[in-house]
Amino acid sequence: MQNVLLALPPIYLSRYQLRNSLFEPSVLLVNTLGSLKIGEVKEMNFVLTEEQESIKKLVREFAEKKIAPSAAERDEKELFPREIFDELGKQGFLGIPYPEQYGGAGMDSVAYAITVEEISRACAATGIGVSVHTSLCSWPIYKYGTEEQKMKYLKPLAEGTKLGAFGLTEPNAGTDVGGATATAVLDGDFYVLNGTKVFNTNGGEAEIEVIFAITDKDAGPKGSTAFIVENPTPGLSFGRTEIKMGIRSSVQREVIMQNVRVPIANVLGKVGEGIKIAMTSLDGGRIGVAAQSVGIAQAAMEAAIKYSKQRVQFNKPIASQQTISFMLVDMAVQIEAARLLVYRAAFNKSNGIPYGKEAAMAKLFASDTAMKVTTDAVQVFGGYGYSREYPVERLMRDAKITQIYEGTNQAMHLVISGSIMR
């Protein structure tokens, strides 16, 4: 097999040059043997590493044994499975992309995306809990935290002995995060937090929250600051639990802060960097949601294939009907394309390549794929697909939220258009 060079001089390209090239790194050099490198960037290779294959197998086995059997019941009764999260922590699955010195597994973001996909294939509600814990709570502490904060907070999060949450959304500040009104006022060696957050995934169950509040009302986007808030803390309470269409065994609660005193030492990053920290954290969160979407779609396709082989109409399995088989083909193509977008965004993140646009693309396409595939899976099942006796109606309900959280898909269009129009 030959390397394919696209009419470019045989020069050694640095990561800086790649970032500023008119072409993406993957376009500059396609090496089918996976033996060449472009600057500091690893070679293009569509085969998972031995480590990634290993984690895929381990997580799938765990999910099928420990998560999937109770998924329907937990959905029906809206039961948050803390015992499952504790076991995920013991298995090392809650700290996949973080260094071992901070309690993590020392793997890359592709391995993390695989982990979320496999968990979500068994239960999407559990998948989003893992994603929020890892991408939105643990990551900003890893990226912006002091060494003391990493040892005190990141280590137990990565080890899975504590659960994490992310408090950004407010009743009147969803996509418009600049409309937040929760405040933090300096009082000696503490900031005093007041306000309300909503749709707080893992809220009330998590021991560690990353919460955003306004420290300077006149500073605009630079007036928000991130804080690490421990649960319990006096004045911190949790209100109503959302009653939802899907991901029903995941918990989203209202966070109520009434004179919550947070030490100055728990300011995450610098004062005024809250919006920056929130937006960069959401970039990673979109990889998690995209991986969750792929897991949902994969589960729906597998269920549809199995059912179509067993369901007999007109004296033959409906899988032999071209109208059905072509629907299954479309599912497979869309899922594979979505998975590659997820892996690309995760690869970029692990290799220090900008990934905001790629994460938005992955989230946009994968969530739309999850919605389309689950809807078609219900159609394959016919009337039975609408019944709770079969899993596809739950998967369809779970899929819808992926088009909404971590930035609506309409917001993803804005993110992507802003990037490609530069």
Q: Is residue 230 domain-shared with residue 261, that is, in the same domain?
A: yes
Q: What is the pLDDT of residue 42?
A: 58
Residue 34 lies in a domain: no
* Helix, strand, coil share (%) of the chain residues, nearest 5: 55, 15, 30
CATH number assigned to the domain comprising residue 127: 1.10.540.10
Q: Is residue 256 domain-shared with residue 126, that is, in the same domain?
A: no
Q: Is residue 267 domain-shared with residue 328, that is, in the same domain?
A: no
How far lies 46's CA from each of 96, 331, 339, 347, in Å? Answer: 21, 20, 11, 11
How far lies 16's CA from each of 5, 105, 115, in Å? Answer: 20, 29, 30
Q: CA end-to-end span of the chain, whole Å?
A: 37
Q: Is residue 254 classed as helix, strand or coil in its secondary structure?
A: strand
Report whether pLDDT(28) > 80: no
Report whether pLDDT(270) > 80: yes
Spell out the alpha helix ranges (H) of 20-132: 25-28, 50-62, 71-77, 82-90, 109-122, 124-131
Q: Is residue 261 domain-shared with residue 289, that is, in the same domain?
A: no
Residue 411 lies in a domain: yes
**Gap between the Cα atoms of 113 and 132, Å rounded:** 13
Last residue of a domain, one of 275, 310, 335: 275
Residue 330 lies in a domain: yes
How far lies 383's CA from each of 79, 308, 318, 390, in Å? Answer: 27, 13, 14, 10
Residue 118, token pair as written in the block: 């496999």
Q: What is the pLDDT of residue 17?
A: 38
Please state the pTM of the whole predicted model.
Answer: 0.90
Q: Is residue 140 domain-shared with residue 239, that is, in the same domain?
A: no
CATH number assigned to the domain comprising residue 329: 1.20.140.10
393-406 average pLDDT score = 98
| Tens-digit pLDDT profile for residues 209-244 | 999 999 999 998 899 999 999 999 999 999 999 999
Which element (helix H / strand E) includes 287? helix 274-310
- Give the strand pairing for 190-201 and 183-187: antiparallel
Q: What is the pLDDT of residue 16?
A: 30
Q: What is the pLDDT of residue 7?
A: 37
Cα 220 from chain centroid (whole Å): 28
Catalytic residue among 118, 358, 393, 406: 406
pLDDT confidence of 419, banded at 50, 70, 90? very high
More confident of the two residues 42 and 153: 153
Residue 33 lies in a domain: no
Count of domains observed in the chain: 3
Q: Is residue 187 domain-shared with residue 319, that is, in the same domain?
A: no
| Tens-digit pLDDT profile for residues 300-322 | 999 999 999 999 999 999 999 99
Q: Is residue 391 domain-shared with residue 325, that is, in the same domain?
A: yes
Last residue of a domain, one of 221, 254, 275: 275
Last residue of a domain, one of 252, 275, 298: 275
| Tens-digit pLDDT profile for residues 66-105 | 999 999 999 999 999 999 999 999 999 999 999 999 999 9
Nearest to 207 by CA among 162, 250, 251, 168: 162
More confident of the two residues 162 and 175: 162
Range of the domain at 209: 166-275
Residue 244 lies in a domain: yes
121-126 average pLDDT score = 98
Please, are residues 104 and 134 in contact by the beta-carbon 8 Å criterion? no
104-125 average pLDDT score = 98
**Gap between the Cα atoms of 369 and 346, Å rounded:** 18
| Tens-digit pLDDT profile for residues 177-202 | 889 999 999 999 999 999 999 999 99
- Give the strand pairing for 208-214 and 164-167: parallel
Residue 14 lies in a domain: no
Q: Is residue 413 domain-shared with residue 295, that is, in the same domain?
A: yes
Q: What is the pLDDT of residue 45?
A: 82
Q: Is residue 153 domain-shared with residue 185, that is, in the same domain?
A: no
230 is catalytic: no
CATH number assigned to the domain comprising residue 205: 2.40.110.10
Q: What is the pLDDT of residue 363?
A: 98
**Gap between the Cα atoms of 345 and 276, Å rounded:** 19
**Gap between the Cα atoms of 50 and 45, Å rounded:** 13
| Tens-digit pLDDT profile for residues 353-376 | 999 999 999 999 999 999 999 999
Cis check for the bond before 232: say yes or no (omega within 30 of 0).
yes
List, in order, residues 6 or more apart from 280 with CB less than 8 Å away.
Answer: 140, 143
Positive or negative, the CA dihedral 156, 253, 235, 266 is: positive
Q: Which amino acid type is present at position 417?
A: S
Q: What integer best gives the mean pLDDT of the chain?
A: 91
Q: Is residue 409 domain-shared with residue 323, that is, in the same domain?
A: yes
Q: What is the pLDDT of residue 217?
A: 94
Q: Is residue 263 domain-shared with residue 290, that is, in the same domain?
A: no
Residue 261 lies in a domain: yes
Report whether pLDDT(335) > 60: yes
Q: Is residue 103 domain-shared with residue 121, that is, in the same domain?
A: yes
Residue 28 lies in a domain: no
The DSSP letter of residue 16 is H
pLDDT confidence of 40, banded at 50, 70, 90? low
The DSSP letter of residue 133 is I
